[in-house]
Structures are given as structure tokens and as C-alpha cells.
Structure 1
């Protein structure tokens, strides 16, 4: 069964409508999952648990939480993902209350608290307070752009897998996901960004819903996400003290992967430049240096990305070191 949000509120002061939404859904005893920095937004008398208390023990003692009839995640990606995971384990609804907009996890049925990420149920409601989100660190809002432009290459990869491997493909989900990204890129390139935070939240929610409808991360995750996951693996392997964000990494991955698609399809000419310009406009990184990585790590990530998971993309059976270097150089990433 496909679960998509029954209620979506995206406006200033939305957080004050939590009680109203609980009443509409006939939910009376929520457990709130949040972080130490976002607890200040929890101005109510529900029970609160910090996400790290749960993450430190993934074999959750579910007995402790059986009295609750829903979970509310208030905060960034960790709070939302942990809440989603706990709600899924308990078999109860999840309400997403993001305090920033750095990735589409705020509305998707995907949990990324460990790799590979996995599917759970999508939130039953999304309450996005744009007043709070606007005040969140600018860098997180820039990273959100990186996660949205990913939809472009994700959909191109999905269609490629359909053509070359006969993979199941949904034209409607693909068009929906791609349109969300194209509209945000167009807005960013042709405006003063005064409504950027608002447009970004709506795009990320739409992207999460596209995933829920397709019942697959395909509409929003392709070769660019494989590259990002490869970088995460190398950060861990080499113990690199680099605090690059998921969306930032995906943005740079999208620049390179869209260039590979351009080389095979003349209709896409200039796509990677347009993506790069939109990322620059919101101050998202577009080079390895801005991301904090040495050239060699970028090249290594490109050569191993196709092995991260069993997913057919423009990387096909992988790039050689020479091909990877050439790709990174020609797109200006290194």
C-alpha cells in the first residue's frame, strides 16, 4: 500500500498547528523525537526523547514505547529519520516537522541512519514552519538545492535502466520528480531568492512524495547519490575529518553525472552548466576544493560508485581512474 501524507502544511507558524493535526488524525498520545539544538521548538507537554538516545541503541526496546499512538520528528535529518524509523518499528503513524530543508527525507519513506538506506512508511503529515526554516543555517538550505538537482540525473538514470535492463519505470513519477527540480533551478537562476526557502521546502516535500508514489528511491536517487555514498565510505575508511553534507556531495555528483548523460544525448547539451550555475547562486559548493576533498578522493569515489549498490546508472560497469579524472577535470570539479 502506498502511503502519502494526508496533511501537508507549509507556512509561517505551521508548528503551532501540531495539535490541530493530531485532532484531525484522532491521535492523542505522541512521542516527540528531537535533537538538543531543536528542543527549543518543542513548546508543548508531550514526552520527548533525543534522537541520539535511540540511535545509540538501534535494537530499540520497543516495550518502552508501546503506550504512544504516533511519533513526531522535530528537527533536522537525524530527528526526522530516527522518528520515521521508530514509528515504523512500532507500526504507528509518523508526523514530520522539519526545522531546516537540507534533503527530501522530510517527506520520503526512506531512512538513511545507516547505509544502505531503506524504505519505511512515509509521514502521515508534514508540518513545515517556513519561519523556522528560513532562520536555519544557510549552508543547510544550500545543501537542499544539491538534493533537488539530483532528481535530474536520477530520472535520466532510471530511464536508462528501463531501456538497457528492462527495469520497472513510472513515467508519471519520473516527470513529477524532474519537473520539481527544473522549476526550482529556473526559480533560482531567474530571481532574487527572496522566496528560496519556501520554494525549496515545497520542492523537497514533492520529491519525497514522488519516492512514496513510485515506492522506490529511483525518482530522486541515481549515480549522483552513489558518488555521494562512495565519498561517505572513503571519509570513514581514511578517517577524514571533512564535514561535507549529503546534499552538497549530491550536487557535485549531479554536475558530473549530467555531463556524462550530455555526452550520450545531444538534447541535453548545457545541462551540467545550468545545474552548476544554480548551485553557485545559492552558495552550494561546485568543486572538490569547496567541498573539502583532495582530487584523489574524488577520483577514487567516482571509480567505486557503481559498486555501492545494485543499481544501473550512467556509470554502468564503472569508470577507470583515467575516465574519472577526465570527467572531474572537464566539469571543473577538480
Structure 2
């Protein structure tokens, strides 16, 4: 049987043509290819028509979109592979024109490769620079946001990570139009970006908290030396404290822009007001997490959407602590019946907001530096 694909002997990837093998070699530096009678898979999603070239790719597509039905069209797409290397376009044109000067074709102009503009925009929204985004998309094959982000993580220490990649004009191929995203895919991407933004905010807060603790330790050390009558350390070796302007809180605090930031501020206020009683703070956070989780998972059950404010246990765990009731109001709860109850109307249940509340609470519970600043 004639070969219908080329197999990479280094990673066993199946490729449809010599052109694909050349591109694979450029990206991976693999050079061991053999002709194979095994056809490249062509699993087409019955819902959106996306072709998948492997079981892994189809499983990832199912995980991202929920689409589970695929039609195997491998046999229809399989055809004998041509092992003749394609001639560069410039060489063919020059041969047809009878031009004997071949030196100009060897000095082709280098340009920035084209990348998937939708994925590029999403990477920039996540905070990656233009250079890193283009470089990641180019070398990961423009296949997905996840692949590009993983490439950046794996190559963040490369010396050329912040340089634009360059390719010759002849190797620059027009990008195939990407099918429009389904509503489910759009929702998943929005959730992924929200989660990444939350993680980024958590890391920044942790870094600020570590710096605050370090500065406090240095100040305590200097104070002990002063009390013991010891000379102060070399000022050049001791970093000065930051200007007090940044540590002061305005008499008119700026209200956080997003609901997630407002929730975080409520939790920070609650912890700072009771920083000497970690058990009380942890109990409050866990109680709030239970309310948010119950409302999100059982939105049709009124008992999970109604809280008696006069309940002694509720008052002891949350009600008496500044920031607790405010947090629940940000989740959608409203005071009703003369302020006796907190109630979340069924039509006002906002699942993304409740999920955001859960994320903020989990961060506050698990991050040892939360609320230190």
C-alpha cells in the first residue's frame, strides 16, 4: 500500500504532506521522517464542523465546548503522499521567465509572521506584550489560547522572548479563517480570562504583602539595635521605607471599580477589623462561602436564598462583623420585611457573580497574606 502520511520518528506525529513535515521540522527541530501507511485522523465535529487530527484534540474540543459527536472522515481525506519537495515560488517564476540570475531569490525579505488576530487580542488582554504574544502564537502553531500561554510559561527565560520572530516572505502563509466561536465557547473563554485576572491580582497582592512584612522586619531590627545601643547598619544596605503617602488611606476612599474588587474589599475590611482573632475571621469566611455556594447550586430553593438577620448564630458568625452583610448584598441579597431578613429573589440570582464570590472567599481563606496590607 502506498504511503499516505509522513511520520516524525522523534515524536510520532503524523503529517499530511512534505510541506507539513518541513513546517514541523522548523518548529521542533526534528529531522527524522519516514513514509507511513497510517492515515492522519480527520474527526469532524457534528455540531460545529471543526476538524480534529487526533483523539487528544477531539477530547480537548469536547472539554471546551461540550460537543461529543464526531464523524470519522479519515478514509475520505487519505490520499497517496507525494515525496517531491515543493519548489520555492520565486524559483518557478524565474525559470518560466528564463532569468538566469539566482542570487536575488536567496536574499529574501524577513517579515513578522501572521498570527491569529483573535487569539492575539486575547493574549494582550491577559497582559502579555505584543512580542511575546506573536512569538507564542507563531511557535505554538496558532492552534489555541492554552497552547500559546503554555509556550510562554515554558520559554519565559529565553533570551529572545521579548523579540518579534521573523520569517521569509515565501514561508509566510495566509492564515486560514477560523470558525466563529459558539456561545458556549465564548462563555468558557470569558470565565478563563476572569480566572486568570483573579490569579494575577492574587499574586500581586501576595507580593505586596511579602514586601510589607520584609520592611517591617527591617524596621524592627533597626529599632532593637537602637535600644541596645548598637550602631546602625550601613544605610546603603538597608532599603528605605516607602513614602508614607502610599500607606495612608484617604478620608474619601475610592470605591473599587468591579464587583469582585468590592467583595475583596469587604473581606479585607472584615479581616483587618478582627486580625487578632483568626478563628473568628475563618468562621466568617467559611459561612459566607456556604451561603454563596448554596445559592449558586440550589437557586430554586428559597431556603438557601433567605437569611434571618436576628438569628443568633448568624449574628455571631457574620452579622456583627463589619463587611459581612455588605458582602452578601454584593452577592444580590436584599433586606426585606423591615430588615428582618436578607433575601435573594430568584430572578436576581446571578450565577457568575456567585462564582466570583466563591473565588474571592477561597482566595481569602487559602492565601496566608490576604488582608495583611
Q: TM-score, normalised by structure 1?
A: 0.25
Larger radius of gyration: 2
Flag the structure with more relative contact order, 1 or 2, with Cα contacts below 8 A and sequence separation at least 6: 1
